Amino acid sequence: MRKLGSLLVIVGVLAGFLLLISGPLYRLQWVELAIAFTLLRWAAYIGVAATVLIIVYLIWQRPRGLPLAALTIAAIIGFISFYLPYQQLQTARSVPPIHDISTDLENPPVFVAIAPLRAEAPNPVDYAGEETADQQRQAYPNIQPLTLENDYDRTFQAALTVVNDLGWQLVASDLAEGRIEATDTTFWFGFKDDVVIRLENAADQVRVDVRSKSRVGRSDVGKNADRIDTFMRQLRSQLAAN
């Protein structure tokens, strides 16, 4: 029975190992995205199996001491290996399969400096179109332009500060054109999502529009909308603080 307990510990740790390496392997370009997702899927399958079997084993054998601790840790690792991919899948199912989000759906901000960087990206630089706009209106009605009664130059500098604070890689900034372009790289898989910020003077007000677009993937799992919302909130806070 000790061998069975040891085997279950190995299975739980294996699930965690597959989860751990799936993102970095793709980020380092050692495997294709499809393979990385397959590793993630198997981490979930093995993780849930390990968790259930370990729980049954604990009830059946009632181990103590070091075996109990090892099995408990393996069960936790297995559960995490299942839960994280499962949570991501549920999030993906709860949002539309789009990856191009903009506060201006009639005249989305245009990528200029970033366009060459996306030349080989699966998702083209052009705006995704009216079908995407309709899905965004339904799913993310809160993604709207920000109109501020503020100085244009001050707002532009505040936007640059927020880009830096969020850890985005600044690609270009043009005060005269009111355009800031940056790239945000996700932590685990290293997905690159591009952002363009557009500022326009209107009387004594400044209108801020933001567009965020993924380079790969049909669905962004809500990441682009969340990124725009975070930027707008931090921009308000930055201007209020200065």
CATH number for position 227: 3.30.530.50
H-helix segments, the chain:
2-27, 33-61, 65-94, 130-139, 152-165, 223-241
The whole-number pLDDT of residue 62 equals 82
pTM (two decimals):
0.87
Per-residue 3-state assignment (H helix, E strand, C coil) for 123-169: CCCCCCCHHHHHHHHHHCCCCCCEEECCCHHHHHHHHHHHHHHCCCE
Residue 219 and residue 122 in one domain: yes
pLDDT at position 131 is 94
Last residue of a domain, one of 40, 75, 94: 94
Token duo for residue 89: 């899948």
Tell me, yes or no, whether 89 and 108 share the same domain: no
Same domain, 117 and 225: yes
Is 89 in the same domain as 194? no
pLDDT, one tens digit per residue, over 99-147 is 999 999 999 999 999 999 999 899 999 998 999 999 999 999 999 999 9
Question: Using 50, 70 and 90 to split pLDDT, how confident is the model at 187?
Answer: confident
Tokens 């009664």: give the residue: 149
- Look at the chain and report how many structural domains it folds into: 2
Distance between CA 24 and CA 19 in Å, rounded?
10
Once rounded to an integer, what is the mean pLDDT over residues 210-217? 96
Query: 132 and 58 in one domain?
Result: no
* Same-domain status, 61 and 109: no
pLDDT for res 1: 59
3-class state of residue 106 by DSSP: coil
User: Which of 77, 94, 111 lies at the terminal end of a domain, its last residue?
Assistant: 94
| Domain co-membership, 87 together with 104 | no
Domain of 204 in residue numbering reads as: 100-241
Residue 241 has pLDDT above 90, yes or no: no
Q: Check residue 215 and report its DSSP letter.
A: S
Predicted confidence at residue 29, as pLDDT, reads 86
Regarding predicted confidence, which is higher, 71 or 182? 182
Average pLDDT, the chain: 93
- 187 and 111 belong to one structural domain: yes
State pLDDT tens for residues 5-55.
Answer: 788 889 999 999 999 999 999 988 899 989 999 999 999 999 999 999 999
Task: Count other C-beta atoms under 10 Å from residue 35's C-beta.
Answer: 13
